[in-house]
Amino acid sequence: MLSRIVFSRFATFQKTRLASTLAFLEHSSSQLTPGSLNTVTAASKLGGVTALLAGTGAREAATAAAQLAGVEKVLVAEDAAYDHGFAEKITPLVAANVAKHGFTHVVAPASSVGRGFIPRLGAALDVQPLSDIIGVESENTFVRPIYAGNIITTVKTSDKIVLLTARGTAFPPAQKGESTAPIEDAETADLSATPTVKFISEHLAKSERPDLGSATRVVSGGRALKDKESFDSLVYPLADALGAAVGASRAAVDAGYADNSLQVGQTGKVVAPELYIALGISGAIQHLAGMKDAKTIVCINKDPECPLFGLADFSLEGDIFQIVPELTEKIKNA
């Protein structure tokens, strides 16, 4: 224990002397994404944070970033070339700013954009990134899940520049601080030699419900819902009664009951809400990887052998088609 305290003091001492961290933040309609707030928290564990925002609307989002606790400076690259988060363009931008300011660490959200450009930047800088970190032990030592979250590993890197993506649910969102950081123009990047990926269209699932990745309550449906109509008529009313986001197992998504973007699991979203209610989900390890850090897990399933019963805090064996409407009514009337 003593050695641990000494070690952590040493780490604190080191970080104030050496680390300078660039946090790549994402925005949508000039608002910081929820995952960006978690990324600031992860980055601030390494020392003072410089935030970088790019693309159309970056300057407006930068105003919010400048007010976050832990952010010391904000760099803005307001240029449509960086829209849609194409890794081919973001990589030279971040590389140019690392070269100019000498950042020792670059942290991005473990989102589709962060996962896209951080490894490409790794290739450009000849460093091996660490993805989806859930803990910061020191400037060069990080904790991350492997094997679908069945194993937790602590890894020490010897690279001079450390590239990281941070798992949103592992770090609390950064709050508004007391001071406002200065906003400057980012170093510009030479994009002349970069390959082009053309944006054609996007289909984003629109929803009034809380965002799945950051919701405090999630109601998820699985294969046992039998069809899209049952999914819609059972899962959504319960989610509405709870003010919860809606999730789905891969089986439910593959069968067309729910949109791809709702998939919870190793290859979908990783969530860690206060309450996770699984309806008709058996609990394959790939699904568990996406939700087993939820604070309270409820499993409703008619199969007594369902593996999720082994993990759930409260399990109710029975027919979801009878139980869910009853549960929804009783919660509404409570």
Partner 1 sequence: MSSKLRIMVPVKRAIDFAVKPRVNSAKTGVETAGVKFSINPFDDIAVEEAVKIKEAKKGAVESIHVVSAGSSKAQEVLRQSLAKGCDTSTLIDVGDASVEPLTVAKMLAKLAEEDKSNLIILGKQAIDDDSNHTGQMLAGLLNWPQVTAASKVDINESTGEVTVEHEVDGGFETVSASLPMIITTDLRLNTPRYATLPNIMKAKKKPLKTVKPADLGVDIAGRLETVSVSEPPPRPAGIKVNSVDELIAKLKERGAL
Site residues for partner 1, window 11-70 (CB under 8 A)? none
Residue with tokens 């998939």: 263
Residue 178-217 contact track with partner 1, rule CB under 8 A, x = bound: ---------------xxxxxxxxxxxxx-------x----
Tell me the chain's radius of gyration from C-alpha atoms: 21
Choose which of 2, 4, 80, 126 interacts with partner 1 (CB under 8 A). 126
Nearer to partner 1, 69 or 321 (CB): 321
Find the binding residues for partner 1 in span 274-293 (CB under 8 A). Answer: 274-275, 285-286, 292
Nearer to partner 1, 158 or 179 (CB): 158
Nearer to partner 1, 229 or 317 (CB): 317
Find the binding residues for partner 1 in span 236-265 (CB under 8 A). Answer: 242, 250, 253-254, 259-261
Sign of CA dihedral 151, 155, 159, 161: positive
Choose which of 159, 187, 232, 240 interacts with partner 1 (CB under 8 A). 159
Asked whether 43 and 108 are in contact (CB, 8 A), the reply is: no
Nearer to partner 1, 63 or 138 (CB): 138
Judged on CB neighbours under 10 Å (0-12, 13-18, 19+), 285 is: middle
Asked whether position 334 contacts partner 1 by CB under 8 A, the answer is: yes
Nearer to partner 1, 42 or 238 (CB): 238
Tokens of 252: 């439910």
Asked whether 152 and 145 are in contact (CB, 8 A), the reply is: yes
Alpha-carbon span 101 to 97, nearest angstrom: 6
Tokens of 292: 């087993």
281 labelled binding-site residue: yes
The distance of closest approach from Cβ of residue 51 to partner 1 in the complex, given in angstroms and rounded to an integer, is 19
280 labelled binding-site residue: yes
Alpha-carbon span 191 to 77, nearest angstrom: 13
299 phi and psi angles, rounded to 5 deg? -125, 125
Binding residues for FAD: 223, 249-250, 263-267, 280-287, 301, 319-320
